[in-house]
Amino acid sequence: MKFKELSLYLEKLEQTSSRNEITSILADLLKTVPPEDIENVIYLMSGRLGPNYKNTEFQIAEKLVLVILARSYGVELTEVQRSYKEKGDIGVVAEELANKEQRTKNKEQGIAEIHQQLLQVAQVSGGGSVEKKVDGVAEILKSVDPLSARYIARIPTGNLRLGFSEKTVIDALSVMECGTKEKAKQILKAYEVVPDLGILAREIKLNGIDKATKHITPKVGIPVMPMLCSRIKSPTEMIKKMGEVAVEPKFDGLRVLIHFSKPKKILRAFTRNLKDISQMFPELSKVGDYVDADEFILDSEAVGMDPELLTLADFQTTMHRRRKHNIEESQKSIPLSFQVFDILLINKESQMDVPYLERREQLKKLIKPNPLLKLDDYTITSDPELITKLHKELRSKGLEGIIVKRKDGGYIPGRTGWNWVKMKEAEDSIGKLSDTIDGVIMGFTSGKGKRVGFGIGQFLVGVKEKDQFLTLTKVGTGLSDAEFQELSKRLQPLVTEIKPDEYEAHKDLTPDFWVKPEVVVELAGDDLTMSPKHTSGYALRFPRLVKFRDDKSASGATTVKEVKKIFDMQKTS
């Protein structure tokens, strides 16, 4: 399939706002694409070059794309900047510049060819890499028609402005085969085990939905969507909903899924948002010696230790290692252990449908005594008072509290039902709210007074609603100078000239600068109120920054539905 043909479909999608019509266009596109091109089509129309878990990002800011356009079309950078300020869309600027130049010889390049060229540019590293990337993308733009240029110019920034999510693509795959969304849940379940829509789409294209999803199991090297906790306020309600439960400690660490295969020579570590952070953990090079299996996937919490105080380090200290260039130095200053609490795969055999207690017994048999992997303790009970007692005991030891798990439950990706729940009481949280909220920073205002030096006065935080982010609160107090400096350092590279399409905000809450949805922060607060101005419908009062959630992407932010649940819980307290 030619890239120009794909561009015509992308144009239709861009001009459509109806969710059902978008799904129909996508289904038609996926039906038309040959199997050998469908993976690349899935990635490219999502603004990526590969699945989320592969680090195939361009690392090219919007401002640099303007330089690329100037170089590609032989115009002054000031002209490109002026046009971008007027249009607010890099793709439209590229298309107009291409039309003005009126090139008569455009190559009819295939999707695979364009994808490969873009991938080569993204993988450039080392000295002079920025200049090479600029030249590489400029050369690609020179060779394509104006409409194709519109979409190729947007790819380095990761946003094709098409207005659909992976969930819409899953719906479209169902419509492609059966004409309805009836098999979307079946595809979604498979996607949560192997979250690579490119691979899944190719298998569906070749073998049909039933065959492609029937026996899908975890694969070493591809992260499984982790199982997440729901919220229940009281231990009595936990027992009522879950029956006899297992109570485990909740550490203030980094969620890490450890993948190992001796035959395939694979060792990977993934966060809960599917990012590959293997380079953070040189300690894991010996993990194969500590587990009596040739292939496995473990779920764990990486917990740092403060060597001077001989106490567990907090989350921010543990995460400091991630931002250090010198990992070996960090390894000495922040030694880690991995608190292992679950197993998903043993020697090609999935454990996800195996009951909780059986999975725990497997862990006892497989993990040998070692200094790196620590097996979590657990207590089986149906006594609400014992749950409260264990929670308080663990809190007094500096842990976050407890996780309560259904004794006979399987490992179900995502936040599904009442299989795992966390207990956070009002007196335990930093604010008075019964739980914290993980929000996405949508924008910020310029600082005043001493904050002028930071460049940030307040920041606007939103929560997730399907494919959108809706406002919840503004945060401007309770941050230290160091936190304001850290915030500025994180947000300045994400500033965008126009409001991202996925943001919905009241005009009175418009910040001085919008930022791309990448920084997630954990907030505490006094309470939630109904709000006519915040687009989520709720406002978080007296918000306080707890920490930066570097282990979460925007897609893992708290949802409006979860905010409502917290709001309802506070009404019954």
Q: What is the pLDDT of residue 230?
A: 85
My answer on whether 111 and 187 are in the same domain is no
444 or 163, greater pLDDT: 444
| 482 pLDDT tier (thresholds 50, 70, 90) | confident
* Close Cβ partners of 208 (under 8 Å, ≥ 6 residues apart): 177
| 308 pLDDT tier (thresholds 50, 70, 90) | very low
CA atoms within 13 A on the CB side of 343: 28
Token pair for 424:
């956070």
My answer on whether 131 and 206 are in the same domain is no
Please write the tens of the pLDDT for every residue from 198-241. 999 999 999 999 999 988 999 999 999 999 988 787 899 999 99
My answer on whether 263 and 307 are in the same domain is yes
221 within a domain of the structure (yes/no): no
My answer on whether 292 and 411 are in the same domain is yes
122 within a domain of the structure (yes/no): yes
My answer on whether 123 and 192 are in the same domain is no
| 484 pLDDT tier (thresholds 50, 70, 90) | confident
Q: Which residues of 161-175 are buried (b: 16+ CB within 10 A; e: fewer)?
A: bbebebebbbbbbbb
My answer on whether 67 and 176 are in the same domain is no
Q: How many domains does the chain have?
A: 4
Domain span at 201 = 166-214
CB 472 within 8 A of CB 482: no
CA distance 174 to 187: 8
Q: State yes or no: pLDDT of 374 exceeds 90.
A: yes
428 within a domain of the structure (yes/no): no
Q: State yes or no: pLDDT of 402 exceeds 70.
A: yes
Q: What is the pLDDT of residue 446?
A: 83
| 54 pLDDT tier (thresholds 50, 70, 90) | confident
Q: What is the pLDDT of residue 310?
A: 42
222 within a domain of the structure (yes/no): no
My answer on whether 320 and 410 are in the same domain is yes
Residue by residue, DSSP assigns 401-415 as EEEEEETT----SBS
224 within a domain of the structure (yes/no): no
Residue by residue, DSSP assigns 442-477 as EEE----GGGGGTT-S-EEEEEEETTEEEEEEEE-S
567 within a domain of the structure (yes/no): yes
My answer on whether 145 and 174 are in the same domain is no
The rounded percent of the chain whose pLDDT value lies above 90 is: 64
Arithmetic mean of pLDDT over the chain: 88
353 within a domain of the structure (yes/no): yes
CA distance 108 to 557: 41
CA distance 368 to 290: 5
My answer on whether 44 and 143 are in the same domain is yes
59 within a domain of the structure (yes/no): yes
CA distance 170 to 291: 36
CA distance 315 to 354: 31
Q: What is the CATH number of the domain that holds 531?
A: 2.40.50.140
My answer on whether 174 and 53 are in the same domain is no
Q: State yes or no: pLDDT of 344 exceeds 50.
A: yes
Q: State yes or no: pLDDT of 281 exceeds 80.
A: yes
Please write the tens of the pLDDT for every residue from 4-48. 999 999 999 999 989 899 999 999 999 999 999 999 999 999 888
Token pair for 305:
């230790």
* Close Cβ partners of 369 (under 8 Å, ≥ 6 residues apart): none
Q: What is the CATH number of the domain that holds 383?
A: 3.30.470.30
Q: Closest Cα to residue 267, out of 301, 298, 226?
A: 298
Q: State yes or no: pLDDT of 169 exceeds 80.
A: yes
Q: Is 355 exposed, middle or buried (0-12, 13-18, 19+ CB in 10 A)?
A: middle
Q: State which of 116, 135, 157 marks the end of a domain.
A: 157
CA distance 350 to 341: 16
My answer on whether 170 and 151 are in the same domain is no
Q: Look up the pTM and report it.
A: 0.80
| 110 pLDDT tier (thresholds 50, 70, 90) | very high
484 or 353, greater pLDDT: 353
Q: State which of 157, 183, 198 marks the end of a domain.
A: 157
Q: State yes or no: pLDDT of 111 exceeds 80.
A: yes
Instruction: Taking residues 415-423, report their average pLDDT.
Output: 83
My answer on whether 297 and 413 are in the same domain is yes
Q: State which of 136, 157, 178 marks the end of a domain.
A: 157
Q: What is the CATH number of the domain that holds 90?
A: 1.10.3260.10
What residues are annotated to the active site? Answer: 250
Q: Tell me the three-class secondary structure of 198-219, residue by residue.
A: HHHHHHHHHHCHHHHHHCCCCE
Q: What is the pLDDT of residue 309?
A: 41
326 or 222, greater pLDDT: 222
